[in-house]
Chain A
Amino acid sequence: NAGVTQTPKFRILKIGQSMTLQCTQDMNHNYMYWYRQDPGMGLKLIYYSVGAGITDKGEVPNGYNVSRSTTEDFPLRLELAAPSQTSVYFCASSYRVLARSSYNEQFFGPGTRLTVL
């Protein structure tokens, strides 16, 4: 298993450009997440998905969009890049059954370091 993979590893964007951060997992996890990590800060949830075709906003969704057409893929789209979106982006996935007492580890991808100039 490759686990959670992300591309690209690094990217520099100009203000106003758009791009898609790719995330794929091969563990058949139903839950997937996008976080951003700013220097000296914890991880902030951008969007998450509980299964194919279902997505929802997290704590900091403005300026981003997501889709989940398959179980494996969860791309994150930046439409009009702004300097405030300079950050490290982590995708994560986990598996849970539909029971309130069920909690499972979130596995993280290697991250994408994005700079907007």
Chain B
Amino acid sequence: GENVEQHPSTLSVQEGDSAVIKCTYSDSASNYFPWYKQELGKRPQLIIDIRSNVGEKKDQRIAVTLNKTAKHFSLHITETQPEDSAVYFCAACSNDYKLSFGAGTTVTVRA
């Protein structure tokens, strides 16, 4: 099955700086890569996703890049704000409906 690795496990950044989270996947057939944000005690919520026919996607302060050859994808958050503090999960879809999740990155934005 699909194996997704996520790094780093924790990330502390100064407010206003950028944060980058990287994930690798094992199944070359994977073609859908969502990112979820989970605040403490709450449910995961989708913040951005990318499909394999696209190399980069942006939505305001967040962006995701995908390198299918190297089988890795990354989340970029610019101009970080305190409300960006949360756990972020990457995932890969190796068939039509099952997601494999990374272990998560705890992001702390220091004021």
Q: B-contacting residues of A (Cβ < 8 Å)?
A: 31, 40-45, 48, 50, 58-59, 90, 94, 96, 100, 102-103, 105-106, 108-111
Contact = CB atoms under 8 A, between A and B. Distances in A.
Mostly, the B contact residues are: strand
Contacts of B91: 42
Contacts of B98: 45, 48, 58
6 contacts: A40-B103, A42-B6, A44-B101, A58-B98, A102-B96, A103-B51
Interface residues of B, number: 25
Given A43-B44, A43-B89, A90-B44, A106 B99 contact: yes
A94 B49 CA distance: 14
Interface of B: 1, 4, 6, 9, 32, 34, 42-46, 49, 51, 89, 91, 93, 96-104
A96 B43 contact: no
The 8 closest A-B pairs by CB, nearest first: A42-B101, A108-B43, A103-B32, A43-B101, A105-B46, A42-B103, A108-B44, A110-B43
